[in-house]
Structure 1
Amino acid sequence: MLRRDRRYRFALPPVFACNNVRYRQEQILKEKAFYDILVRVRDNHSFPYAEEKCITLAKEIAKLVNDKAQYADWSTRDDIKSQLNMDLTVLLYRNGYPPEWDEEVFEKVMEQAENFKKNENE
């Protein structure tokens, strides 16, 4: 049985013993967390950005964070963090989010990325 969050169009599968399913569920939850940040900032600053674009951007951010944060010590290595910062900035800019640059968006996304990787190791 799949649960659906009305605001977010990703099906959340139940946890099974299979590692692939568990990995996918964790990936979906990461995407949803980034989606929530994008929507919250969009709504707080009242700028237009389509729901589907938020979903697509959240998936791209989650993929980027997974690629850059694959090293155990990524949060203490300045070279990896600065590369992630630059890649996130470019990704947000290319997707036109937000229409006028706001440092809050960038800070929230980076904070969420660091939180996920810290909690993943616990």
Structure 2
Amino acid sequence: MAIRRLRRDLRNILKNKVDGIDASPSPDNLFVWNAIICGPEDTIFEKVRFTSKLFHPNVWHDDGLICVDILKDEWTPSLDVLSILNSIRILLIDPSPLNPTNLETALLYRDDRQINGVGGFK
């Protein structure tokens, strides 16, 4: 059942391209996916690849786990891979420092925005 679902998600991703998101399963394991999410232009996330640690208020710096509701409490079987990747991309565009997993990063993000009057890191 899970394999059928992941194959359907892959067909959907290939058929309905979304700007800024590219994803595919590993050639030898349909349960391991590689994704490239292009961050918003003119930010530090513009060239992010999730192959390394990410300094972000909603990402655990130790293991890279992402704090987004649909990956935890609000996950439902109706969510497909593309929905999850879109949620992660939105989190990159609009971090949530009021609900951080990485407090130090959230404080830096909050203070940088207040001092510089801008919408994100410089």
TM-score normalised by the chain length of structure 2: 0.30
Larger relative strand fraction = 2
Larger Rg: 2
Larger relative helix fraction = 1
TM-score normalised by the chain length of structure 1: 0.30
